[in-house]
Structure 1
Amino acid sequence: MTISRLLLATVFIAASAISTLAGAQNPFPIGTRGAVVSTEQVRAELLAWAPEGVEAGKPVWLGLQLTHRPEWHTYWKNSGDSGLPTQLDWQLPAGITAGEIAWPTPKKIPVGTLANYGYEGTVLLPVPLTVAPGFQASQADIKLKASWLVCRQECIPQEGEFSLSLPVKSSTALNGKAFQATFDATPRPLPTGRSQIEVSGQTLKVSLDGLPPALQGQTLALFPETAGVTQPAGAWQQAWQQTGQGWLWTAQVPLSSERTESPARMPLVVSLNERAYRIDAPVSGEWPQGATRAAVPAALTAALQANAAGPALGLLPALLGALLGGLILNLMPCVFPVLAIKVVGFTRHANDRRAHRISGLAYTAGVLLSFLALGALMLGLRAAGEQLGWGFQLQSPAVVAALAVLFTVIGLNLAGLFEFGQFLPSGVAALEARHPVVNSFLSGVLAVAIASPCTAPFMGASLGLAVGLPAAQALAVFAAIGLGMALPYLAAGLVPAVARLLPRPGAWMETFRRLMAFPMFATVAWLVWVLGQQSGIDGAGALLALLVLLALTLWAFTLRGPARTVIATISIALCALAIWAIGPNIIKPLGATPLAAASGRWQAWEPGRVEQLTARGQPVFVDFTAAWCVTCQYNKKTTLTNAAVLADMEAKNVALLRADWTRRDPAISTAIGRLGRSGVPVYVMYKAGSAPQVLSEVLSVEEVRSAIARL
């Protein structure tokens, strides 16, 4: 078997099926493209209001209207103790620019002992547009990509893509009442006047001037726009004071013990029923020392240094860690099937030193270029605003299905069902035979495709550092991982002493080749299980049915005479029918994956959940995992289910949270990035007042029990 024949034949057989599945549905956005996106929790609609047309100097507004199901809510610009504000990313015609969200007045939403600021029911988030003079068009095509976090007791990150076209010359007044109602609920600005904020110890003393007389003597709600400064659920006092110049509303608000800002001015919103006012007041006094932005990375760096093998700072340690991690990557279970193919290739050249060298160099080039390409793609997507990490490609069900097809074809070839020369034109096969170096290069590409979801020891900290480095230095880290992975084969090709350790060619090779079909089929079984976590039992069943039909098609082409034409035609027709009928099940979105569901003592991770638990004094252990991460599954079966580990967790009352990254989840990507990591597995122990304790990628019972003992 040769890798180049394998890939060419697989493209001829499966390209149409893969493209059909990939184009059937985008696996990431929830809902459909258009003016409306609906989920089980929220109905989101893009609205427009241009009462005098889309012209310079005229009022033009867009807005995302969120209609929540009962008990669900989304968040204000300052979400409070937990949560994330809604984000809007616009694509507008040249000559039109979007302003900031004119946030309506929120409400306080209690969450146990904590409190959030957000919206229930129906809320419209309006955004003003500015039209440049001379804007000429018959219509304005608007596109929006929005993301929001919707919560009840659990939280679900969601996103949607919206589009609409606005006529430029005519009025768009249909949604005027909705926008006007929102404007009435938006805080009215008040001049600063004598308003001021004073820092006094661990308290903010707020004095607001100029509030309307109708509010005097009333109990008001207070919403600081700057997040992370005050305690939303903290006990605070308010009063009205009469001075010679009028009434002042005063309040004493406790500062957050985990403050991330020390602002010179603080915009505040105060409200009473439907009336709300906004005042931007200066801050006087000296801020107490706290968990400022500068202190957080320092604490995180210390935690990484204490738990990583080697320094976590600097490019050189990152390169060394990446090289060592790439070397260890060869021992990870996900790489074993490709290693078998490589061993067979080496034994074929056992007596040809030149072929050994060329094979080793070509394989190394394939691995290096593949790691660089994957790294560049990930960095480019992150720079464009996507929340991605290492192994992001297997978060797409279409990619998982494509790999299952590829490895099914490889397994059937190794088992002797067919030879690739039966499908390739004779000219292509002859060209491939004259250039065996292509086989070694493509085997390196294949190895990276399978190994990339894994994170070996020493790789995690290096990858986490790489995403924050300049592009050239980040790519050097990815290249170091590739070099480490290719190093054993490069040594076998260049060092005669290593080459002499390899077995000699013989009749055993045919038996070994057929034996290696079974690791391939095991890989397919794993990929089908991964797809089941992403798309449910219907998706896994659909993929299995398509793989059976693929095997039937391949077998049909091995026949001779009229039977080949008849059976091959029928099998191809069945494949096409199955792709149309059940193929979309493979990539359909699944609201919640089984890994994320609560199981026994384990609860599903959600944004803000760690902070809620640690605020009550309870330590927390978080397992950032994914179904496609073999290392994650190994640790789960061997260490995280160990009776002694669970007993220690129970004794210290440790809350166990599992963050499932099987499908793309921007909230989990952000949380992993804050820990200095870029892929799974990541294991973290949290304790109030201490920096997060990041454990090793390959867990041992002793390491986890030691971490628990330090609580």
Structure 2
Amino acid sequence: MRILLLLLTWCALALVPALPAAASAPASEAALRQALAAGATPVAKTPVSPGPQRTERIEAELVPMGAWVVPGSTAVVAIRQSIKPGWHTYWRNQGDSGGPTSLTWSLPAGVTAGDILWPLPERQRLQSLMNYGYSGVVFLPATIEIPAAATPGQSLSLRVTAHFYVCSDEMCVPEDLDLALELPVREDAAPLDARFGQAIQDVVASAPRPAAIEARAALSDGKLIVTANGGPLAGAAPKWAYFFPFEGGVIDHAAAQSGERGPQGLTLGVAAGRGLTTGGLTGAINGVLSTDLGAWEITAEPGAALTGVAGEGAIGDGEALQAKTKATGGPADFAKAALFALLGGLILNLMPCVFPILAMKAASLSRTAHDPAEARRDGLAFLAGVLATFVVLAGGLLALRAGGQALGWGFQLQSPAVVAALALLMLAVALNLSGVFQIGAGLQGAGQGSLSRLPGAAGAFFTGVLAVVVAAPCTAPFMAFALGAALFMPWPMALAVFLMLGLGLALPYVLISLNPRLLARLPRPGPWMETLRNLLAFPMYGAALWLAWVYGRQTADALALLFGAGLMLALALWLYGRVQAAGPGKGRAAGIGALLALIAALGLGALAAKAAPAKADGAGASAHLSSDAWSEQAVQAALAEGRPVLVNFTADWCVTCKVNESTALSSARTALALEQANAVYLVGDWTRRDDAITAELQRQGRSGVPLYLVYAPGKAEPRILPQLLTEGVVIDALKDAAA
């Protein structure tokens, strides 16, 4: 009998994908639980190791908020879900179909786990149904009580089986994943976990909680009427509100919710669910009241409507505004992101970040202008270098983000080692253009000694690589939509968006190199080319100095090491040029000197790469505006005092950021507007990697800086300012926030 029962259970599970979403998941879990209750013996599970576990539809991992735990404390861990695009999991009340995520813990003696702290769900409409759940990446935190007897220096082994219902619009599949985590035990206070600590803390901080809100519920003509006042609702003016009940059957989930606001609160009405229409209102109704000003847990006791909850205007449920954007990946979203990427790449050719590279290409183009075959080869090689580098950078970024790293576009310039290497490379390019040494000196023709003219197409390819690396600081301002969307698309679409950006960057040069008529209009080669090549060295010197300044901002008193490395590199290349001028078999002493100087340059460069980071002070982004370091706590503290907040997310390697700060954010009028609005100015410095800033950029749909936010007291969401600021835009935003 047991064997037969197990076979029936297995068949039921195998048929689940073919069943409708509304019924398949609960039925399959019930069959399995009934089989086990009847005496079926579950198959022994293989011991699971810490780390992510995957199925075709979902990846999950048990991750900590703190780097370690302290005996006798309460720790927070979370189930991190990374859900495949087109699929979703569910909230504690799943809505009209599916089922909530549940956890079965296996913990050491004395260790206990609390309930899931549920983040606010998305509303997922499916034809005539409405579900509540999550898509993309979501954290479900839970508390873990650590016994006082836990021994420092050891680890606690946590095991949990997470039961998911993973559904698409066509089917629903139950997934069970066994997850594990080793929690180190130490005596001192723990910092946030480097991978996911900040993300979990943000979820814990933003999850709906009880507030000083009084609520009442009543049935009237088949509708549930909920009134709420007091606490954060008093004196507020929400534009929309929505009630998520904790239990199913309380409301018609798919029905629209509407009502009105009053001076002390609001009234909501929604069609009652089958549980109320058949059984009546017999007790309190618990749930989450979500508005554009915030979300709170409420308990609505049966009773007459409260006072002060009507008379100041109608409100709706804000479904069009509140429904979160799911993982981007539809054809329309992809086409829009690709188009913006192409346009953004074209605009990049006008930005100061790319001027040094355009200088190199101008020298190369002028040399090959009257050799169409060579010009075509160079144009295509340059395009290949641009596209290949975008694939490498974008692929690395997407892979690191998929692994849990909090990174954004331009992440390579957050590393002092990378900035130092680029500064030395720019110096070498400039010295080459100045004629200090030659590469490919055996080739014929003026200007062929340029570093952009390595033998064959290699020089053009190298220039394309360099163009992408140094263009990153100027990319984000014009790519906020495209890059932000690409980071949440399936990886093939995301890479395609980045390739379109590269195509836009390379397109002007490629079109000229492929057009013989345009090439014929350029002057013929002559002595003027050597003068042009030497002149174009100066933008490269400027780029090297700028990168050295960025490096100095990123590190603590290590700029001398970089200068020393640059001096030794210049000496090595000058001596190498002497060897080239002396001819074959001569200049051995200069060659030995060049080698020794190069070794010294590499040694100093390695020390510069390992330099300690500078202490972040968060201030000084604008010369005339006093500022404090950004943090979510600083924003909330200022808003609690009734003060507007201007937030500037910036980086020293972001050229657009520096231009905005030297104009719109450094004027006396802006300073006066801040003072008159009694506003707080906060600076989020992203020059070095900062996971908290990266997470905030992601929440605002951005992948890089600059980003300017203005918070107004009483409003949950900030106003996002344009990425090219003017003095008037900032002043008007501050006036509106103060009003």
Instruction: Identify the TM-score tier after normalising by the shorter chain.
Output: 0.5 to 0.7
Match of 2:91 in 1: none
Counterpart selection for 2:724 from 681, 689, 698: 698
Q: Partners in 2 of 1:501 and 1:661 — Cα distance? A: 45
Q: Deviations over 1:544-600 (max 9, x none)?
A: 1111111122223334545325533543554466467x446x432334256578985
Match of 1:239 in 2: none
Equivalences for 1:130-149 in 2 at 5 Å? Answer: none
For residues 371 and 578 of structure 1, do their structure 2 counterparts lie closer, same or farther at Cα, with a shift above 3 Å needed?
closer
Matched, 1:564 2:590: yes
Equivalences for 1:456-495 in 2 at 5 Å? Answer: 457-495=477-515
Q: Partners in 1 of 2:550 and 2:78 — Cα distance? A: 30
Counterpart selection for 2:194 from 159, 163, 168: 159
Per the TM alignment, residue 379 of structure 1 is displaced from its structure 2 partner at its CA by 1.0
Q: Partners in 1 of 2:74 and 2:708 — Cα distance? A: 28
Q: Deviations over 1:213-252 (max 9, x none)?
A: xxxxxxxxxxx989532267x699xxxxxxxxxxxxxxx9
Q: Partners in 1 of 2:349 and 2:496 — Cα distance? A: 20
Equivalent AA in structure 2 for residue 288 of structure 1: L
Equivalent AA in structure 1 for residue 672 of structure 2: A
Q: Identity rate of aligned residues, in percent?
A: 37
Q: Deviations over 1:129-173 (max 9, x none)?
A: 4599xxxxxxxxx98899xxx99xxxx977399xxxxxxxxxxxx
Q: Secondary structure at the match of 1:322?
A: helix
Match of 2:221 in 1: none
> Which stretches in structure 1 are left out of the alignment for 5+ residues?
1-54, 69-73, 78-84, 90-96, 106-116, 133-141, 162-223, 237-251, 266-281, 303-311
For residues 694 and 340 of structure 1, do their structure 2 counterparts lie closer, same or farther at Cα, with a shift above 3 Å needed?
same
Q: Deviations over 1:519-560 (max 9, x none)?
A: 111111111111112112x22221111111111222233345
Q: Partners in 1 of 2:655 and 2:320 — Cα distance? A: 30
Per the TM alignment, residue 388 of structure 1 is displaced from its structure 2 partner at its CA by 0.5
For residues 437 and 102 of structure 1, do their structure 2 counterparts lie closer, same or farther at Cα, with a shift above 3 Å needed?
farther
Per the TM alignment, residue 473 of structure 1 is displaced from its structure 2 partner at its CA by 1.8
Q: Partners in 1 of 2:541 and 2:454 — Cα distance? A: 30
More RCO (CA 8 Å, sep 6+): 1
TM-score normalized with structure 1 length: 0.60
The 8 Å contact of residues 327 and 485 in structure 1, kept in 2 or not, is answered as yes
The 8 Å contact of residues 646 and 681 in structure 2, kept in 1 or not, is answered as yes
The 8 Å contact of residues 476 and 483 in structure 2, kept in 1 or not, is answered as no
Match of 1:229 in 2: 208
Per the TM alignment, residue 439 of structure 1 is displaced from its structure 2 partner at its CA by 2.2
Q: Which moved more, 1:413-422 or 1:290-299?
A: 290-299
> Which stretches in structure 2 are left out of the alignment for 5+ residues?
1-45, 49-63, 82-104, 116-142, 162-180, 197-202, 215-228, 248-282, 296-316, 326-330, 444-448, 579-585
Per the TM alignment, residue 288 of structure 1 is displaced from its structure 2 partner at its CA by 3.4
Matched, 1:436 2:456: yes
Equivalences for 1:90-169 in 2 at 5 Å? Answer: 127-129=156-158, 159=194
The 8 Å contact of residues 381 and 388 in structure 1, kept in 2 or not, is answered as yes
Equivalent AA in structure 2 for residue 321 of structure 1: F
Q: Secondary structure at the match of 2:648?
A: strand
Matched, 1:417 2:418: no
Per the TM alignment, residue 661 of structure 1 is displaced from its structure 2 partner at its CA by 0.7
The 8 Å contact of residues 300 and 692 in structure 1, kept in 2 or not, is answered as no
Equivalences for 1:484-563 in 2 at 5 Å? Answer: 484-500=504-520, 502-536=522-556, 538-559=557-578, 560-561=586-587, 563=589
Q: Partners in 2 of 1:494 and 1:235 — Cα distance? A: 69
The 8 Å contact of residues 440 and 455 in structure 2, kept in 1 or not, is answered as no
Counterpart selection for 1:621 from 646, 660, 668: 646
Match of 1:630 in 2: 655
Match of 1:331 in 2: 350
For residues 548 and 690 of structure 1, do their structure 2 counterparts lie closer, same or farther at Cα, with a shift above 3 Å needed?
same
The 8 Å contact of residues 419 and 547 in structure 2, kept in 1 or not, is answered as yes
Matched, 1:707 2:733: yes
Size of the alignment, in residue pairs?
497
The 8 Å contact of residues 245 and 285 in structure 2, kept in 1 or not, is answered as no
Q: Partners in 1 of 2:665 and 2:290 — Cα distance? A: 38
TM-score normalized with structure 2 length: 0.58
Match of 2:268 in 1: none
The 8 Å contact of residues 455 and 631 in structure 1, kept in 2 or not, is answered as no
The 8 Å contact of residues 56 and 130 in structure 1, kept in 2 or not, is answered as no
Q: Secondary structure at the match of 2:208?
A: coil
Q: Partners in 1 of 2:495 and 2:367 — Cα distance? A: 34
Per the TM alignment, residue 409 of structure 1 is displaced from its structure 2 partner at its CA by 1.0
For residues 645 and 405 of structure 1, do their structure 2 counterparts lie closer, same or farther at Cα, with a shift above 3 Å needed?
same
The 8 Å contact of residues 564 and 601 in structure 2, kept in 1 or not, is answered as no
For residues 382 and 253 of structure 1, do their structure 2 counterparts lie closer, same or farther at Cα, with a shift above 3 Å needed?
farther
Match of 1:185 in 2: none
Q: Secondary structure at the match of 2:417?
A: helix
Match of 2:690 in 1: 665
Equivalent AA in structure 1 for residue 539 of structure 2: P
Q: Secondary structure at the match of 1:288?
A: strand
Per the TM alignment, residue 414 of structure 1 is displaced from its structure 2 partner at its CA by 1.1
Q: Secondary structure at the match of 1:420?
A: coil
Match of 2:165 in 1: none
Equivalences for 1:189-588 in 2 at 5 Å? Answer: 228-230=207-209, 262=244, 264=246, 284-285=285-286, 287-291=288-292, 298=321, 314-421=333-440, 436-455=456-475, 457-500=477-520, 502-536=522-556, 538-559=557-578, 560-561=586-587, 563-565=589-591, 567-568=593-594, 570-572=596-598, 574-575=600-601, 578=604, 582-583=607-608, 586-588=610-612
